[in-house]
Structure 1
Amino acid sequence: MFCIRYLVRGLIGKSYKYRFKSVMFQPVTHVIFDMDGLLLDTESIYEEVIDHIAKKYGKTYTNDIKLKIRGSPEPVTAKIAVTDMQLPLSPKEFTEIFDPLCYARLQHPPLMPGVEKLVLHLRKHNIPMAIATSGKKEISLIKTKDYPKVFSCFNHVVYGSSDPEVKHGKPHPDIYLICASRFPNPPSPEKCLVLEDAPNGVVSGIKAGMQVVMVPAANVTEELKKPATLVLKSLEDLKPEDFGLPAYD
């Protein structure tokens, strides 16, 4: 079997769907999820916060900078934002403004489409799952508090911005390799399926030697989708059996 990295995009009606012929993927035993933009609809909130800070100093938060930041750990986010927008702040000062605004706006983020169905299905069939997020533990606990039924299904969570073992954040492979190593009877990387929305996260999973299903935001360019094993419009479109996992009933 083989992984295919480039999929044929077909135009159906007014929406894009990804079609493929005679494609097979490597079977997996474990699934690792990103959090922001993949499990929770939070990326737009982060973008609103950074845009608010940028406008305060007469700067523009462009799409290129958004894509560069998306999926990165908080210290990297602060450094990119300050440097690329030439903000009159240090990364530390940026974070001191950024964090309170995020805490206030991330109290009740909605789940992304298809999340609850997929997670509960995999849990029902005893598929080991974990989360590898670039976020801090403290704010992640706030974001997930409304969904104990879903988030109790995960074996563990690796918080890239606050875990001392994660020396290099996404797009480096560290977080996904560390996440895989913390499962009971840790699987080899090729037995892990990564689910991501951000280009940085996709590259991280691929570098870790894992297959990566990408569910990108609308502003992600075609070029940045190319490293993914499979690109889908929504997790609702994922067929677990394509990766050797139990099919939906």
Structure 2
Amino acid sequence: MNKVSCSAKVAFKKVTHVIFDLDGLLLDTESIYKRVFSDIAKKYGKIYTPEIQAKVIGRVELDSAKVAVTEMKLPISPSQFLQQYKSMAESSLASVGIMPGAERLVRHFHSKQVPIAVATSSGQDTYDLKVSKHKSLFSLFSHVVTGGTDPEVERGKPSPDIFLVCASRFKDKPKPEQCLVFEDAPNGVQAALGAGMQVVWVPDKQTDENLGKMATLKLNSLDEVKPELFGLPPLKQ
């Protein structure tokens, strides 16, 4: 059963634009990250716990590496961690799959002329690698903001910068309250709320539900999305 957070007891507000996170929301990358981070931790006798994962996901790569190194007390620098991560993850990221319900939802919004965009903490090169086998789908987005390399995104999630920049790049420049964000990471939920946007949270099953309890709506999968709740065209049954 869908769980609406306490903050969302009032009616949802109508929106006109939609912003999607990428990792763990549109693309099934989190399982790759989890495996690679765990393998690096294991090399140094450490454990990549769900608690540390919750602090890592959603951040730009360097920030994720800093958190991982600090939290696990690894005897390497964040840049060394990133170097190992990239060499271990590259082949898997190039063939990453799409999350359940993601393609249907994106194509639905595009067909109904709902403006859609992506706001990802990835850098441009990493983004290009991840979507290389899904170019048809990702060509449907109005634009993509790659927070890891975009000069206008001064601070990564959980700061709201990336969502505000993303909204400003729609042709008609909607107000933040006109945008609905889809996120999987607690850091992303915090960033979207900080930007003044409603946010649908689709967390990893291992994520502590309390970390995203302020989300406008919590779902188990994008298959459960009902766009009409936010004044958007409903999906065909």
TM-score by length of 2: 0.95
Q: Which residue of 1 aligns with 2:27?
A: 40
2:218 aligned to which of 231, 244, 247: 231
CA contact (8 A) 2:4 2:217 kept: no
Cα separation, 2, equivalents of 1:215 and 1:30: 18
2:12 pairs with 1:25: yes
2:191 aligned to which of 204, 208, 227: 204
Query: What residue ranges of structure 2 are gaps of 5+ in the alignment?
Result: none
Identity %: 51
Q: Which residue of 2 aligns with 1:242?
A: 229
Most deviating of 187-196 and 76-85: 76-85
Give the 5 Å matches for 1:211-222: 211-222=198-209
The change in CA–CA distance for 1:113 and 1:59 in structure 2 (over 3 A counts) is: same
Deviation at 1:24, TM superposition (A): 2.2
Deviation at 1:104, TM superposition (A): 2.0
Most deviating of 105-114 and 185-194: 105-114
Q: Which residue of 2 aligns with 1:190?
A: 177
Amino acid at match of 1:27: K
Deviation at 1:23, TM superposition (A): 5.5
Deviation at 1:183, TM superposition (A): 0.8
CA contact (8 A) 2:4 2:216 kept: no
Q: Secondary structure at the match of 1:54?
A: helix
2:122 pairs with 1:118: no
Most deviating of 129-138 and 18-27: 18-27
Cα separation, 1, equivalents of 2:163 and 2:4: 28
2:153 pairs with 1:166: yes
Most deviating of 154-163 and 190-199: 154-163
2:121 pairs with 1:134: yes
| Structure 1 residues 49-92: Cα deviation after superposition (integer angstroms, max 9, x where no partner) | 11111111111111111100011111111111111111111111
Root-mean-square deviation (Å): 1.5
The change in CA–CA distance for 1:85 and 1:248 in structure 2 (over 3 A counts) is: same
Deviation at 1:181, TM superposition (A): 0.5
Query: What residue ranges of structure 1 are gaps of 5+ in the alignment?
Result: 1-15
The change in CA–CA distance for 1:19 and 1:166 in structure 2 (over 3 A counts) is: closer
The ranges of structure 1 where at least 4 consecutive aligned residues each deviate by more than 3 angstroms after the TM superposition are: 19-23
Q: Which residue of 2 aligns with 1:109?
A: 96
CA contact (8 A) 2:2 2:218 kept: no
Q: Which residue of 1 aligns with 2:38?
A: 51
Cα separation, 1, equivalents of 2:125 and 2:85: 14
Deviation at 1:19, TM superposition (A): 6.2
The change in CA–CA distance for 1:245 and 1:132 in structure 2 (over 3 A counts) is: same
Deviation at 1:164, TM superposition (A): 1.4
Amino acid at match of 2:59: S
Give the 5 Å matches for 1:74-113: 74-113=61-100
Amino acid at match of 1:129: I
2:28 pairs with 1:64: no
The change in CA–CA distance for 1:150 and 1:26 in structure 2 (over 3 A counts) is: same
